[in-house]
Structure 1
Amino acid sequence: MDSARFDDFTDIDGLLRLPRLAGLAASPGGERLVAAIAQADEHGSRMVSSLWELDPAGERDARRLTWSDKGESAPRFAPDGSLLFSSARPDPTGGADEDVPAIWRLPERGEASVVASALGGLSLVAVADDGSLLATTEVLAGGSLDDDAERRKARKDAKRTGIWHTGMPIRYWDHEVGDVSPRLVLVSPSGELRDLTPDADTVALVNASADLVPDGSAIVTTWTERVAGGETRSSIALIDTASLEWRELLPATAGEQWSSPAVSPDGTRVAVTRLTTSTPTDTTYDFLELHRLDGGDPVTVEVGDVTITDYAWADASTLIVVGDLHSRGAVLVVDGATGAVRTLVDDAPHAALAPAAEAGAVFALRTDMATPAAPVRISLEDGSSASIPAPGRIGELPGALEWVEADVDGVTVGGWLCTPRAASAAEPAPVMLWIHGGPHGSYNAWSWRWNPWLAVARGYAVLLPDPAMSTGYGHAGLNRGWPRLADVVWRECETLLDAVLERPGLDSERTAVLGGSFGGYMTNWIAGHTERFRAIVTHAGLWALDQQHATTDAAAQKVRVHGHADELPDWYRAYSPHHHASAITTPMLVTQGNRDYRVPVSEALRLWWDLVSGWPGSPESMPHRFLQFTDENHWVLRPSNARTWNEAVLGFCDQHVLGAEPVPDALA
């Protein structure tokens, strides 16, 4: 494995083609461990996931289990020891539609076969002790599992594409909402489907999170309903799988909603996240609670500054929790009866929890700013961690990683500084300031989309701050700078930048600022408020807030917090970047995906028009550029597009920060 480690960060394509671990499944006894690993196809046109057998003891190399062109994902172990997964791979028997995923079973010895399929696809959610499965599918709006095939054929033959909307939401992330009704189905061990939610409309189970009581007698699921003002509220429902009797377990209110139910292995408790409703003075706060399914007072779990990202039951009395903490991460053990918390790990973020309580361990994917997600085995007793061999390891980095801090009005603001090895007082490195998205996010983990080491290999130092509203600093940290006050975030980022620029190995004259999503909003706002940078890169950034707040897929939350421009003209005048377009003198690279519904492409189009129409010189002398991806969403995911994006971003910065040749009008 070590001999295959990647260390040439000047090779953008090579980095983007590395295997990426995306999920784990462990058998109850911990004797088997399977990972879902994604890798670019031959042309870089898409990522394809396959399943690999890992050695839980960490002694043997990984072994690939599946090879189909369509890929396999979401592995889970069945009670009989076979491996379940989702795939749209061809069915040798001809029984499954190859355009949508079916549920497959791979025995320890032998070939995989289809367990169940549906025209709306099947995604595995949970496995009961008797071998029955909880899965998600979808039917055309107004239909059922029984008539879905006929209705889909009629719609396809007539080439009908209309969607009849009766309220909000109508979009989510990169797809339309309203043409299909998501459903939860119970799949028997023989593959028969039973719709557990026949009364669900087109929004009730959109992005639902659900779990199956281990004996298969009931499911616990989020249930979303429309309310006045374009808002929705998500409750927790308990549904009997035999009678389909529906009971609201945890009702939503105007002030709080619920998400992420996880049922304990003995079927007595459910761990859930309670989310408060954001307001103009307070952001959304998350609280982890443990509720008994038969009633009683809940147990609230106190996690301190940790911002929870995931949790899973190890056994009937032990919940494993992971989250962001102080620009790193933590793994916590929670007593299911009392809510008492014990810290196992606090050095890095972890994800894809795969508990194996019988083995006294939990498997997870560990990452940090210098290491992509890699499998580890963590002892539930003392938190000791052991690495497990897997593809996609990184070798030597092209520079050093260091934690830096600065005091901003009595608040300590920190961030990661990546410095090229060649930087010195004689040859100081140019500096990039990267501002993260969210705004509730953190620079604490490896990123394939925004990877600072590509810039470091090019000779840049990269500063990655965690300013106001970053995760992992408790509720006070999340709310500092709310509601998305650009000047507060900018002051903290600039103060930290000025502090590191005092170092003799960094060049304070050659600097650039980059950001995506909320970070893109920040770079757009910064462009109209300072001339200190030589280049600005903005990806999927908010430009005209009066426009974006009402057209994003999260419009209800945005308008609830920020109101309308005619109601708060001073706030919009101060914080909407488009009001400061005439002050922009720094060359800007605008990048955007057309399928982005979180920050619609109209933001980039309007920004681009303001830049082009406001340029006083000849068109050929204009320094600004616009890189548009017609098939990408809020993120640039296709490997070939990611390569283009990185080459364009680095080339644009080279041109304006280092004085290199201009980026060609037509990219290769």
Structure 2
Amino acid sequence: MGETRFEDWTDIEGLLRIPRIAGLAAGPDGRLVAQISQATDDLSRTPSALWELDPAGGAAARRLTWSAKGESAPRFAPDGSLLFASARPDPTGEHDDDGPAIWRLPEHGEARVVAAAPGGLGLVAVADDGSMLATTQVLAGGSLADDAARRDARAAAKRTTIWHTGMPIRYWDHELGDQSTRLVHVSYDGELRELTPGADTVALTNASADLARDGATAVTTWTTRTTGGETRTGIAAIDVRTRRRRMLLKPTAGHGWSGPRLSPDGTRVAVTRVTTSTPTDTSYDFLELHPLGSGDPVTVDVGDLTIGSYAWVDDARLVVAGDLHSRGAVLLVDAATGAVRTLVDDAPHSALAPAVDGRAVFALRTDMASPPAPVRIPLAGRGAVTATPIPAPGGVGALPGRVEWVETDVDGVTVGGWLCTPAAASTKAPAPVMLWIHGGPHGSYNAWSWRWNPWLAVARGWAVLLPDPAMSTGYGHEGLNRGWPRRPDVVWHECETLLDRVLTRRTLDASRTALLGASFGGFMTNWIAGHSDRFGAIVTHAGLWALDQQHTTTDAASHKVRVHGHPDDLPEWYRAYSPHHSAASITTPMLVTHGNRDYRVPVSEALRLWWDLVSGWRGTPASMPHRFLQLTDENHWVLRPSNAVTWNETVLAFCGQHVLGTQPIPDALPW
């Protein structure tokens, strides 16, 4: 597994079967473990397994776990055993809960269950005495002690109702309000003790938490409701012994907090201060180091970097990774002064795992031409360093073309993007061009994507342009705010100007173009469809169509309404920027794709768009060029590999039909 590099880019299934590395854990004695997922034979699931890697980069990876349910969240215990979460069956029969339990795998021997709970357990952190911090779910209004009985009663009554008392009520693809997240302390032997009894259904939803190395203190995000359907999130500190909770960092109307990470000695917490977005300013992130006792915080100046993740190396240093200039960087921060040293700035990195000896940090490195792969980044020295690749399953071989950075001036601002060009493109056979607009809008085309993968299109003869226009990450606060609040005209002007620049190349065919985008990119493609007829085909996935509808039905309604107001208050803004107002102007064939379980951009957006396209078509029904690919069990993304095959085949065939003149897609999809 992983020995043969993937190179057949016409094989969509083959790409989706490549192992994917999702996380790293560094442990004592220099051990390094990776969480790696791979599609099942029938492409119905992508379970994860744990693999042992060689930190020195010499030996091949070795698989440690094999269950059908998969394993995740690896953490090393002080005794060298490996802890992880899994819903695999307990061979002893003692724990028969459906949710994930915490397991322990000794360096030699079989894994066994450490702790289980009716609502499952998620492993968060491990202390030096082997105790753990975990999350669980209990039915609303209950406790860990009575949760099993209450769940049995609810199941027996076939009761599925949820009683809502405020917002939020949804998050991405699941309902909120029927369960309450709780933090639990897990002893080395598996004894569970609730740390947040009585927490409501909002306080710890999507919480980020950490445990001090001495096991005495836990920190966590803590969310409360406020007026107008809004919530505010601060940072709470919890005394593990007494369960006493105090608000360490209180939220305000102007800012909240996220991502608490305790220093090894438990005296400081690294957090992100997140400003509240307004109609004139987007939200900005600030990395700060706050003492748990008295003293002033240290603010870290990360420059243009958009913060992604951070981890403490030791009490004096932490590493920070994020997007930077359509690439990425890893920074080393002096905790006492906030001084920053750039370690690497060639690509995005994630899954930061500092080595126990403090001499290096392990991370997953990716770029536009290579999927995430483990590297070792040394911390010694003064300047930039060279990362060492670590052998692991997965990876790709030769690409079907080349990738290069392109840029142009747009009203005094340099706007760039990545251009992927097929190897066969020439002045005698210029390549047709796809323009892809990324989601967010706070995002960046700087890393590998398993589903929106340009190389599948390049292998079929397309060139793909991937711009980082206004509001892209990695260009400082000014870049994030350019074009705010989500103005499609600004983004389109920058994307079109860059597209026009690259189309001056004689190896590209300006007469054969397609436009694609998802989420905010789908909003952009919907808006552009009513304002331009230059493309031969448009693909919109999970795109916003009627803003008066989407802004109050999305799971992020409070944010949308706070920023964009009500249509009655801003009729001119909604008239100019809600794509549905220009439905009658659409002449380009559109492929609409959307998941039924998408709560961020509810499927009602696609349903309304589809009705407007079909009802507005003045030709015969058989001649209508628009199509709708409905993904009934997918959310904002297309996660099931079998559905991803269908999605990719359909998108490529639709663009081929309407831009290249290939065969029409049959009424019954063959994929």
User: Shorter-chain TM-score: what band?
Assistant: over 0.9
Q: Are 1:146 and 2:145 matched, yes or no?
A: yes
What is residue 90 of structure 2 aligned with on the other side?
91
- After superposition, residues 243-642 of structure 1 pair within 5 angstroms as 243-358=242-357, 360-382=359-381, 383-642=385-644
Amino acid across the alignment from 2:324: L
Q: d(CA) in 2 for partners of 1:392 and 1:298?
A: 42
Q: d(CA) in 1 for partners of 2:302 and 2:294?
A: 24
CA deviations 1:566-621 (Å, max 9, x no partner) are 10000000000000000000000000000000000000000000000000011111
Which consecutive unaligned segments of at least 5 residues does structure 1 have? none
- After superposition, residues 174-185 of structure 1 pair within 5 angstroms as 174-185=173-184
Q: d(CA) in 2 for partners of 1:279 and 1:295?
A: 32
Q: Equivalent residue of 1:509, what SS?
A: strand
Q: d(CA) in 1 for partners of 2:294 and 2:598?
A: 42
Report deviation, 1:516. Answer: 0.2
Report deviation, 1:381. Answer: 1.4
Report deviation, 1:427. Answer: 0.5
Q: Equivalent residue of 2:455, what SS?
A: helix
Q: d(CA) in 2 for partners of 1:22 and 1:95?
A: 30
Asked if 1 retains the 8 angstrom alpha-carbon contact of 2:97 and 2:117, the reply is: no
Report deviation, 1:451. Answer: 0.2
Q: Are 1:12 and 2:5 matched, yes or no?
A: no
Q: d(CA) in 2 for partners of 1:664 and 1:321?
A: 50
Q: d(CA) in 2 for partners of 1:542 and 1:152?
A: 37
Q: Equivalent residue of 2:619, what SS?
A: coil
Q: Equivalent residue of 2:483, what SS?
A: coil
CA deviations 1:25-48 (Å, max 9, x no partner) are 01145x111000000011100111
Q: Equivalent residue of 2:489, what SS?
A: helix
Distance 1:359 1:230, change over 3 A: closer
Q: d(CA) in 1 for partners of 2:330 and 2:271?
A: 17
Aligned length: 667
Q: d(CA) in 2 for partners of 1:118 and 1:662?
A: 53
Q: d(CA) in 2 for partners of 1:349 and 1:563?
A: 35
Q: d(CA) in 2 for partners of 1:547 and 1:300?
A: 40
Q: Structure 2-normalised TM-score?
A: 0.99
Q: d(CA) in 1 for partners of 2:59 and 2:329?
A: 28
What is residue 24 of structure 1 aligned with on the other side?
24
Amino acid across the alignment from 2:274: L
Q: d(CA) in 1 for partners of 2:49 and 2:609?
A: 41
CA deviations 1:190-233 (Å, max 9, x no partner) are 10100000021001000000000111111100000000000000
The farther-off stretch of 87-96 and 269-278 is 87-96
Q: Equivalent residue of 1:611, what SS?
A: helix
Asked if 1 retains the 8 angstrom alpha-carbon contact of 2:314 and 2:358, the reply is: no
Distance 1:3 1:258, change over 3 A: closer
Asked if 2 retains the 8 angstrom alpha-carbon contact of 1:88 and 1:97, the reply is: no
Q: d(CA) in 2 for partners of 1:443 and 1:350?
A: 14
Q: d(CA) in 1 for partners of 2:64 and 2:146?
A: 36
Q: Equivalent residue of 2:18, what SS?
A: coil
Amino acid across the alignment from 1:332: L
Q: d(CA) in 2 for partners of 1:164 and 1:3?
A: 52
Report deviation, 1:523. Answer: 0.1
Asked if 1 retains the 8 angstrom alpha-carbon contact of 2:141 and 2:198, the reply is: no
Asked if 2 retains the 8 angstrom alpha-carbon contact of 1:91 and 1:98, the reply is: no
Q: Equivalent residue of 1:47, what SS?
A: coil
Q: d(CA) in 1 for partners of 2:582 and 2:295?
A: 55
Report deviation, 1:96. Answer: 2.0
Q: d(CA) in 2 for partners of 1:3 and 1:62?
A: 10
What is residue 45 of structure 1 aligned with on the other side?
44
Report deviation, 1:295. Answer: 2.4
Asked if 2 retains the 8 angstrom alpha-carbon contact of 1:97 and 1:119, the reply is: no
Distance 1:613 1:2, change over 3 A: closer
CA deviations 1:124-180 (Å, max 9, x no partner) are 000011100000001000000111011000000000010000000000000000000
Q: d(CA) in 2 for partners of 1:667 and 1:60?
A: 45
- After superposition, residues 71-110 of structure 1 pair within 5 angstroms as 71-110=70-109
Asked if 2 retains the 8 angstrom alpha-carbon contact of 1:97 and 1:118, the reply is: no
Which consecutive unaligned segments of at least 5 residues does structure 2 have? none
Report deviation, 1:313. Answer: 0.4
Percent of aligned pairs sharing the same letter = 76
Asked if 2 retains the 8 angstrom alpha-carbon contact of 1:593 and 1:634, the reply is: yes
What is residue 202 of structure 1 aligned with on the other side?
201
Asked if 1 retains the 8 angstrom alpha-carbon contact of 2:97 and 2:118, the reply is: no
